[in-house]
Amino acid sequence: MNNDTLIEKINYECPFCDNLHSIEIHKRITKALVKDTVVEYEQTYYYCPIEDEEFTPDKILDQNLLKARDAYRKQKGLLTSEQIKKYRNNYGLNQVEFSNLLGWGDVTIQRYEKKLIQDETYDQLIRLVGEDPAFALNQLDKHRNNFQEDRYNQIRNILKNQIREKKNLSLIIQSIKNIYIQYEEESELNGYKKIDIDKIANILAFFAKYNDPLYKVRLMKLLWYTDALHFKKYNKSITGLVYCHLPLGAVPEAHEEILRLPSIKVEEEQVTDNGAWYRIYPTKEVNLNLFSTSELEILTTVSNYFKNMTGRQISDYMHREKAYIKTEKYQLISYSFAKELKDFN
């Protein structure tokens, strides 16, 4: 396997030369035996060019071991040490607390995050608790004696909040789905695509992150241009949203519900004669992995194209689109008009 890469050179107390000199840090994919299973993982090692010798400091050795074991866990469908840590951090717990919540000894979680591989029963329990705050709350109450009163109440509140958020989110998703049940079939109204709420949530976060300040009216137009431009090029919308001709421009059906998705925060900023201004803020990192290369390209194009236009200018721009001229007020806008979209350049 020729996969060795030089990462960097550092000055290090070399154990072969017994003095401080420049050594190389390398990475390579290698095989290891973990519990009778051969796994491939990325190993780090140090190299002394003077003596042509490899060596691995203890700290790096531990990291390599953890990587090999995580490779094993992945292969066996078990949670990796990172995933366990993520679940724990999500509830704001330290290692001892997470162990105690699960009814285990103080050091169990610490061991799983450091080196020991959990068996399947333990793995399932961590997963259940990590995925479901209601189940976590149930475990906390069951092992209440492991906690001081104050801390018990704090953790209980964190979990209760997460249960509430989860319930809210599922209600929002359900109400969007209810509205879109009539657009289940792929058609020129949804751009031959079934609604994808996860993508919508991340597109909202994307625009909120890269357009500052972002207001509701602008966001609605960015959404339409994103879907329309993608349709023009690839005969498919990205989100599956259905748009309606409203006085201010194209607006997706269920837009009130969509703006309640937790990937963004909407704040009423000022009230003018023409109504309130709603400013949009991102609340989470955008998950770009959801999008294909062509989708990302469209998102970036749309985001950049309108960046320097005022809301008024974007509005005027949109009002000159065939999609807008050829449809009546409150009429749904067919994606077929997107074929006549003005060029972006």
What residues make contact with Zn ion under the rule CB under 5 A? 14, 16-17, 48, 50-51
Reduced to 3 states, what is the DSSP secondary structure of residue 102?
coil
Report the nearest approach of Zn ion to the CB of residue 8 (Å): 16
To Zn ion, the closest distance from the beta carbon of 9 in angstroms equals 12
Q: How far is the CB of 300 from Zn ion (least distance, A)?
A: 47
Q: Which residues are registered as beta bridge partners of 55?
A: 46
First-to-final CA distance of the chain: 47
Smallest separation (angstroms) from Zn ion to the CB of 16: 4
CA angle 288, 289, 290 (to 5 degrees): 90
* 164: DSSP letter: H
The answer for 43, left when phi > 0, alpha when psi is -120 to 50, beta otherwise, is beta
Min dist CB 85 to Zn ion, Å, is: 36
**C-beta of 6 vs 276, nearer to Zn ion:** 6
Q: In the chain, which ranges are continuous DSSP H helix? A: 58-76, 81-90, 95-101, 108-114, 120-131, 133-142, 149-180, 197-210, 216-234, 255-258, 293-306, 311-319, 322-325
Dig out the tokens for 37 from the structure. 């299973």
Distance in Å, CB of 22 to Zn ion, minimum = 9
Nearer CB in complex with Zn ion: 23/222? 23
Give the whole-angstrom CA distance, residue 113 versus residue 50. 37
Nearer to Zn ion, 3 or 11 (CB): 11
Which one, 47 or 324, has the nearer CB to Zn ion? 47
